[in-house]
Chains A and B, each alone.
Chain A
Amino acid sequence: MDNKSRARLIHLLISKSMAEALVITAVAVGFYFATTNPNLRGVLDQADNTSITGWAVDESSPSARVEVQLFIDDTFAGDSTANQYRPDVHQAKRAPDDWHGFAFPTPQLSSGDHQARVYAVHTNGEGSRRTLQLIGKPYRFRIGQ
């Protein structure tokens, strides 16, 4: 192979690597937006031995009710819809109406420390992919003896 052909091949290999890096970057950005809703807001504000409550709003579609899933100690514990009465969220101007709360009855748990997480279920435009987004922060609580 002559030097000119070798140089062309090297340029092609470098260009191909750069093009692939661009494709991966574009797909990663697209994947992020397809699987993440940056307009979801909410808080998990209480958990004890009787209930786990909070609120969730999709600011891109504020009149819709957000589907939520509860995980306790990283184990699925139930799903629900954030459609409970929470006038304080409305008064704080975080929601257009009073009905964006969620409440899960606390399942039977062993005594001791536990961690609750509530996720909003996000479905992409095609409906082909459903992903979970954490609402607020994990909430640690104790079940007494």
Chain B
Amino acid sequence: MTTESQAQPARSTNSGPSVPSDRALAGWEIVSLGSSALIAEWILSAAAGRTRLVVAIPLAFAFVLVITSHVLRKESLRDLGFRFDNSLRAAKLLMLPMIVIAVLCIGLGLIFGTRPDLFRWHPGRPIAGQLALGFAWGFVQQYVLQSFVNRRAQIVWQKGVRSVVLTAFVFSFLHFPNPWLMLVTFIGGLVWAFVYQRAPNLFALAISHSLMTWVIVSTLPMSALNHLRIGFKYFA
């Protein structure tokens, strides 16, 4: 099912009790996903103490929602971006913004007096292993952000600038209250959402996510990024 075909009038016209339109439902899904992330970041991580497992509960609820929504909306894996046929196109689209952002990060880092250090991410871990972990974590984030948020944003506002900005805004807002991280995730969110709408390929986006995280951590001052902490942990 394509996202374009899902847009409908604000209210369905069936004779039964009024049912939210697809647009309203898609908006509700985005809000529900966001609420799960915020509950994990702001309430449970603060209250959980050492029993961090409790943080996984709302995240598990979110994944149940995401996967069930894919099934009910009859979205195939290929629709979602689990594909390789468009890898080259996705890579081409990603290349220029990644180079520009990397150069900007290096420049900003130098302005703030931080020399690039490619081994700063996790000094005790081999960089290849860290990139692999970054790829895995980036893949999960891109899957949720693009295959769910971006596709639902397209149901709300069609393919284009507004849905790209909404996706980037959601991605950025989930990194509240870290101001620098919110800025870089908003910019990254714009790029990735734009590329996904033209070449939906989660593997290319995950590689890009991992590489850009590496670049940002290696170039920008960690004091500004506050060690990538978000939510309640930002104040820890």
Contact = CB atoms under 8 A, between A and B. Distances in A.
Q: Real complex partners, A and B?
A: yes
Contacts of B36: 16, 20
B123 to A, nearest CB: 26
Contact of B73 (A1, A3, A30, A124): A1
B49 A16 contact: no
Interface stretch (A21-29, A65-73, A135-143): A21-29
Contacts of A6: 12, 19-20, 22, 25, 72
B12 to A, nearest CB: 7
Contacts of B68: 8-9, 12
Contact of A9 (B16, B25, B47): B25
Given A24-B43, A30-B47, A124-B49, A1 B65 contact: no
B14 interface: yes
Given A3-B14, A27-B44, A10 B19 contact: yes
B14 to A, nearest CB: 6
Nearest to B68: A12
Interface string A26-63: 01101100100000000000000000000000000000
14 contacts: A1-B25, A1-B73, A6-B19, A8-B72, A9-B25, A9-B29, A12-B65, A13-B25, A20-B39, A23-B54, A23-B58, A27-B47, A28-B47, A124-B49
B48 interface: yes
Contact of A20 (B6, B28, B29, B58): B58
B76 to A, nearest CB: 15
A44 B12 CA distance: 66
A124 B6 CA distance: 52
Interface in B13-34: 14, 16, 19-20, 22, 25, 28-29, 32
Contacts of A34: 49
A24 B39 contact: yes
A126 B49 contact: yes
B57 A129 contact: no
Nearest to B28: A13
A5 interface: yes
Contacts of A128: 49-50
A45 B89 CA distance: 76
Interface string B29-72: 10010011001000110011110001001100100110011001
A61 to B, nearest CB: 21
A31 B44 CA distance: 10
Nearest to B71: A5
B25 A20 contact: no
Contacts of A30: 47
Given A7-B19, A9-B68, 4 more contacts: A5-B73, A12-B64, A20-B58, A27-B47
A24 to B, nearest CB: 6
A27 B45 CA distance: 10
Contacts of A19: 61
Contact of B72 (A1, A16, A20, A27): A1
A91 interface: no
A19 to B, nearest CB: 6
A115 interface: no
Contact of B49 (A5, A9, A24, A129): A129
A10 B25 contact: yes
Residue from B25, B36, B47 whose CB has the most chain A CB atoms within 10 Å: B47
B47 A31 contact: yes
B69 A9 contact: yes
Contacts of B14: 3
